[in-house]
Structure 1
Amino acid sequence: MQTEDLIKQIEFIKEIDKLKFIQRRTKLFNSDRHENDAEHSWHLAMMAIILSGHSNVSIDVLKVVKMVLIHDIVEIDAGDTFIYDTVKNHINTNDERAAAERIFGLLPKEQAEELIAVWEEFEAGETDEAKFAKSMDRLEPLLQNVSNNGGTWKEYNVDYKKVYEKKQVIKNGSVSIWNYAEKLIEDSVTSGILQKK
């Protein structure tokens, strides 16, 4: 690699440090402290490695790890959109596209194109790897909210129907993890930390 490439790569590495400052609505397990995007991405990467055996089909675990490590980098520019936001839709936006092009564009051309392609694949959610990556992305905050006696569900008055609807994506990547998650959701209603309206 040329020195010019190394300089670009170091600039990218310095830029993504900003991910540590992007606060999410969810809080760490059994905690009052909000999770940041870097912590979230690391946790998903570990979950993907540990839980990959539960995927509906055989997957490229390294590709899933890449997806979950980079999927929220665009939030450095675009900010975090709360999954239960009633105003801003939690889907790929023009802001996120511009962020992807700017931030990944700091890298040498070939690496930039690769990471943008991986990010796009995650966002589309159509490949087996993207489906499993999205399963991890939906499972982690579910586990956090249960550990925090309702967490953001209670804080933002999110009801069972919305939670169930958003979490069903888990089954696209893993039916067995979805069965576990579905029981957690139902148990959360029974225990009173999630309201049915």
Structure 2
Amino acid sequence: MTSDHQPPAFAASVPQPAGTPERLRRQIEFIIEVDQLKEVLRRSPLLAADRRENDAEHSWHLALMTLVLAEYADEPVDPARALAMVVLHDLVEIYAGDTFLYDSAGAADQEERERRAADRLFAILPDDQRDHFRALWDEFEARVSPEARFAKAMDRLQPLLLNYGNRGGTWRTPGVTDADVLARKSVIGDSSADLWDYARTLIRTGTDNGWLPRATPPAPPVHPVP
């Protein structure tokens, strides 16, 4: 039986050999399509080169961190399941683009953009893998399991390490303060008290060294003159 499945334009630019089984063809199309992740630039600067990292590099780093740091999770986690989430979670940015963590305007429609992208991207796969990978992606986004919470913690810790190592990095974005960083990184503490303590030490040290602006303290209350 001939399938009516049509590969997206990028995957279609690499034709599959005649006679390739339908299931394998769709899997290879997906693998080709996600090669575009290497072209999605993030804001975070690399430590080893004078350029910004791309999404594929970010995902690799998260995968390695998941394997190395799983022992610090407050709840037992299945590293393989968490690993699958960190590898899959940013694939949607091929279509939705990377949304900077401190971009409030971009965040307004981020969830909608990324869900539409997930629908489109995972549909390339055979139905069983489409459903499995989409469920993992949804689980990560909702942080409804220990693995999802730990994967999200890795996603927030990794750029923190890059910014600290670069003596500022995206911390120097106009308007970003230590209070903003603490607020957006606090999900690390949902999974690991030890790693959250470490993250707060990095933020505090960066602030003390002048790499991250300190939030303006609130003005003291004005008391009427009796």
Which TM class, normalised by the smaller chain length? over 0.9
- 1:97 paired residue number: 115
1:93 Cα deviation (Å)? 1.8
- 1:61 paired residue number: 79
State yes or no: 1:148 paired with 2:184.
no
Matched ranges for 1:48-197 at <5 A: 48-89=66-107, 93-197=111-215
Cα RMSD after superposing both structures: 1.4
* Structure with higher helix content: 1
Does the 8 Å CA contact 1:30/1:148 hold for their aligned counterparts?
A: no
Gaps of 5+ in 2: 1-19, 216-226
C-alpha distance in 2 between matches for 1:117 and 1:170: 22
C-alpha distance in 2 between matches for 1:77 and 1:155: 25
1:86 Cα deviation (Å)? 2.6
- 2:219 paired residue number: none
Q: TM-score, normalised by structure 1?
A: 0.96
Gaps of 5+ in 1: none
Aligned length: 196
Does the 8 Å CA contact 2:99/2:110 hold for their aligned counterparts?
A: no
Does the 8 Å CA contact 2:168/2:212 hold for their aligned counterparts?
A: yes
Counting aligned pairs with the same residue, the percent is: 46
C-alpha distance after superposition, 1:48-81 (max 9, x if no partner)? 0000000001101101000000100000000000
Structure 1 runs (4+) deviating above 6 angstroms are: none
- 2:224 paired residue number: none
C-alpha distance in 1 between matches for 2:168 and 2:30: 37
C-alpha distance in 1 between matches for 2:163 and 2:213: 13
1:117 Cα deviation (Å)? 0.2
C-alpha distance in 1 between matches for 2:107 and 2:80: 29
